[in-house]
Amino acid sequence: MKLSVQIIIGLILGIIVGIVLNLFAADLFETLDKFVFGPVGTIFLNLIKMLVVPIVFFSIALGAAGIGDPKKLGRIGGKTIGYFLITTTVAIVIGLGLAYLIQPGAGGGFDTQGQANFKAEEAPPVVDTLLNIIPTNPIDAMAKGDMLQIIAFAIFVGFAVAVLGEKTKGVRRLLEEGNDILMYLVNIVMILAPYGAFALIASAVGSFGLDALQAMGLYFGTVLLALLLHAIITYGTAVSTLGKMNPLKFFKSFAPAMSVAFSTSSSSGTLPVSMKTAQENLNVPKQISSFVQPLGATINMDGTAIMQGVATVFIAQVYAVDLSLTQLITVVLTAVLASIGTAGVPGVGLIMLAMVLKQVGLPVEAIGLVLGVDRLLDMTRTAVNITGDASCAVIVAKSEEKHGGAPQKTPDLDI
């Protein structure tokens, strides 16, 4: 049985088990969550997270070394960041539009009292984030998992390896062999993916149950619909017109990575799998994938931007506040800039939402209204985020063909 099918079966069984235990055996769920679901899910997540930092460093350095030419590196970087900014803007506009069409917060009956318990962390200013991209201590950045600094250092190392040529052929070979080792470890870890997916989704659904979904059903459905439309229309159109690839083939080939992203709720955590899938199932050249996808996992947050738009309008409707056109434009700009400014900050989605709410004068404590279902929505947002990264990699790879960057031909894996 293909791995992607096994993962989907694990997800479905996890949802069923989580709902049944939540409705009929809450005490049993607590025991199972403590001794089975929690430990299995944690082990799976830790195995993937263990590989993230070394994979980002080796893959980015190898990708930059493979690109070599500074002009080519700048060209690919410009295309990548431009695509991310445009799709993030489109994403939040879709979220705002659907929120006004469906009006999830207009029905009333929401408890706006006692929501002041949520304390938003301060997100770093965008300027500070950009200034801090250059690490003062690369080893410390790796220890802390500061992805932007790791990416910056890896680009410098890869560029130096490319420029020095024969002098550094040993280092290039080390990077290649290190990358091969990490990809082999990804294969081993993925054997546990169906079990990890089952445990993680069973824990999430069993904890929140149907009550949270029913109370926030319209908001939940609006976000899901916006995510689905963005993935199909925006990514599907971009892949078809710019990447010259059948959208159905794209989504089917990338499904294994989307399944893992759904269960882990972490773009960075899914990075080893998403890169492997893009390279081997979508035929994205390794040097393109190694540069575009780690960068996207750090700064590209289309799914999160959609949540910002829907949640902001939802909260405004709950509090009967009419947002002006200027405020809506502010929401778009703030969310797009925040997607870069809050890169690598824990709980990034809610921190970004707090920033947006502050900008338009809505109460930050109202985030408590959406906390109940945010964990479940975060799973879908992450799947959309990494799909956007992969679509960018496909498009950049196609655009580079005219510059001599023909895509590598690799056989599809049985995943």
- Burial of 307-330, coded b for 16+ CB within 10 Å and e otherwise, reads bbbbbbbbbbbbeeeebeeebbeb
Check if the beta carbon of residue 95 is closer than 8 Å to that of residue 309: yes
Structure-token pair, residue 318:
């709950």
Q: What is the pLDDT of residue 287?
A: 84
Alpha helices by DSSP H, listed for 191-235, are 193-215, 217-229
Backbone angles phi, psi at 27, to 5 degrees: -65, -40
Report which residue type is found at 279: Q
Q: Which of 263, 259, 265, 257 is nearest to 293 (CA)?
A: 257
Q: CA 124 to CA 127: how far, in whole Å?
A: 8
Q: What is the pLDDT of residue 301?
A: 83
Q: What is the DSSP letter of 107?
A: T
pLDDT tens track, the chain, 415 positions: 576 678 778 878 988 898 899 888 889 999 999 999 989 988 987 887 788 788 878 877 887 787 666 777 788 888 988 999 899 999 999 999 999 998 887 765 555 554 444 454 555 565 666 677 788 999 998 998 777 788 789 889 988 988 888 899 999 899 989 988 987 887 788 788 889 888 887 887 787 666 555 656 788 889 999 999 999 999 999 999 999 999 999 999 998 889 888 887 777 778 888 998 999 899 999 888 888 888 888 778 888 889 889 999 988 888 888 888 888 888 888 777 766 655 555 456 666 787 788 778 888 777 767 765 676 788 888 899 999 999 999 999 998 887 665 444 433 434 4
Q: CA 400 to CA 415: how far, in whole Å?
A: 27
Q: CA 65 to CA 287: how far, in whole Å?
A: 8
Domains of the chain, with CATH numbers?
3-403 (1.10.3860.10)
- Burial of 23-33, coded b for 16+ CB within 10 Å and e otherwise, reads eeeeeebeebb
Q: CA 388 to CA 251: how far, in whole Å?
A: 11
Check if the beta carbon of residue 388 is closer than 8 Å to that of residue 302: yes
Query: What do you get for the CA distance between the two ends of the chain, in Å?
Result: 9
* Burial class of 1 by CB neighbour count within 10 A (0 to 12, 13 to 18, 19+): exposed
Q: What is the DSSP letter of 195?
A: H
- Taking every pair of Cα atoms in the chain, the longest distance, rounded to a whole number of angstroms, is 70
Q: What is the pLDDT of residue 36?
A: 92
Check if the beta carbon of residue 275 is closer than 8 Å to that of residue 289: yes
Radius of gyration over every alpha carbon of the chain, rounded to an integer in angstroms: 21
Q: CA 302 to CA 219: how far, in whole Å?
A: 18
Structure-token pair, residue 316:
């405004």
Check if the beta carbon of residue 186 is closer than 8 Å to that of residue 47: no
Tell me the helix, strand and coil percentages in the chain, rounded to 5: 80, 0, 20
Check if the beta carbon of residue 277 is closer than 8 Å to that of residue 253: yes
Q: CA 118 to CA 139: how far, in whole Å?
A: 34
Report which residue type is found at 312: T
